[in-house]
Amino acid sequence: MSASTVDPADPVFLLHRGGKLAVAPTVPLSTREDLSLAYTPGVARVCEAIAADPALADDYTWVSHTVAVVTDGSAVLGLGNIGARASLPVMEGKAVLFKQFADVDAVPICLDTQDVDEIVATVRALAPSFGGINLEDISAPRCFEVERRLDEMLPIPVFHDDQHGTAIVVLAALRNAATLLHRKLGDLRVTVSGAGAAGIAVTHMLVAGGVDPARVVVCDSRGVIGPHRTDLTATKAHLAETTNAEGRRGDVAEALRGADVLIGVSGGRIAEAAVAGMAPGGIVFALANPTPEVDPEVAARHAAVVATGRSDYPNQINNVLAFPGVFRGALDARATRITDGMKVAAADAIAGVVDGSLSADAIVPSPLDPRVAPAVAAAVAEAARHDGVARV
């Protein structure tokens, strides 16, 4: 789309004109005394105190409530590799969600590089200005290495939302769907269609939450992942070692034969015949946007509970249920990292918000439910203390 094709009266472009964020002062600057306290000479005393005790930055700067939203523009929504500048509206939107739902300030940082070493070095150099790092829309498999390396080297939380935000909400939804159907997570046979960032994180999260890895089958674009495959990345090879105990081979239809749960995070279409091969009364989460792997009406013919990533159907699996509260809780606890225990606690908190209103059309709360972020934040902060990563 060129500038000549942008309609200035289009409400989408009207809303985005000038961006969606601004910086506002939190202290008065009306008098000379105000200026001398907020800036020189008064600010020098604060600098000297932090130089002597760096932990004081948590109390006397914005780091205790501010995160960086970092992308390289390589996997932006359903748009793909659109680059750094074109990704900025999405990162601004992410920052607005942080502020709206959890009162976390966020700064979009769109890096004009897709080199892993350069991304890691840049974020490491920027990290002292922030209390956490939210990685966003970085394509697999590079995203795994970027997150791993930053998590190892930084003393603040690092969280790739495309992986873990989705995984947390999927676990919450599956917990409630299983409760509704009087099933135990450990007894469910689960097929995950998609082995990119979200698919691998979902699989890991489900296992951390109680799903039996032996009863999980993961598929990528070439079919079922298992020891028979010789074309696997290191991450997928680990999945081959820990899942698919039956040794299934073939395509997603074979993986779905007799399965209780389908979790689609691939974007590829799945035929109705394959879904019909699932066990009766199953669960289908078709999360690709804007076109789910299985049409929701088709899925409903064969499953007792259906969820999508879309807002125009019930049971929207939306990351905004997770990431604002996760970072609010991590920042409140001054956590040094985000553990699996903190993620599971977030999923449990999301599931618990539904509570008495649980039904086939309400296995997760609305993304706009104001109870979600505070519940998630409290659970995450408590889990951080339990896991020994909290500094307060």
pLDDT digits (tens, 9 = 90+) for 120-152: 999 999 999 999 999 999 998 899 999 999 999
Q: How confident is the model at residue 77 (pLDDT cuts 50, 70, 90)?
A: confident
Mean pLDDT of the chain: 95
CA distance 109 to 259: 41
Q: What are phi and psi of 250, to 5 degrees?
A: 110, -155
CA–CA gap between residue 328 and residue 97 (Å, rounded)? 12
The DSSP 8-state label assigned to residue 367 in this structure reads T
**Residue 2 banded pLDDT, cuts 50, 70, 90:** low
Q: Across residues 360-384, what is the average pLDDT?
A: 97
The 3-state DSSP class for residue 214 equals helix
**Selection from 91, 266, 271, 114 nearest residue 192 by Cα:** 266
Which tokens in the block code for residue 319?
């990351």
Pair 243, 217: CB distance under 8 Å: yes
Question: What is d(CA 144, CA 235) in angstroms, rounded to the nearest whole number?
Answer: 9
**Type and span of the H or E element at 351:** helix 340-354
Note the pLDDT tens digit of each residue in 299-311. 999 999 999 999 8
Q: What is the pLDDT of residue 4?
A: 59
In percent, the amount of the chain with pLDDT more than 70 equals: 99
Question: Does the pLDDT value for residue 3 go beyond 60?
Answer: no
| Annotated active-site residue in 39, 60, 313, 343 | 39
- Selection from 337, 324, 340, 385 nearest residue 150 by Cα: 337
Q: Is 94 a catalytic residue?
A: yes
Q: List the catalytic residue out of 20, 60, 94, 184.
A: 94
DSSP state, residue 104? -
Question: Cα(172)–Cα(363) distance, rounded to whole angstroms?
Answer: 8
313 as an active site residue: the answer is: no
Q: Both ends of the chain: CA-CA distance in Å?
A: 49
Q: Would you list the DSSP string of 156-185?
A: S-EEEHHHHHHHHHHHHHHHHHHHHTT--G
333: number of Cβ within 10 Å: 22
Stated pTM of the model: 0.94
Angle between helices 142-153 and 116-126 (to 10 degrees): 30
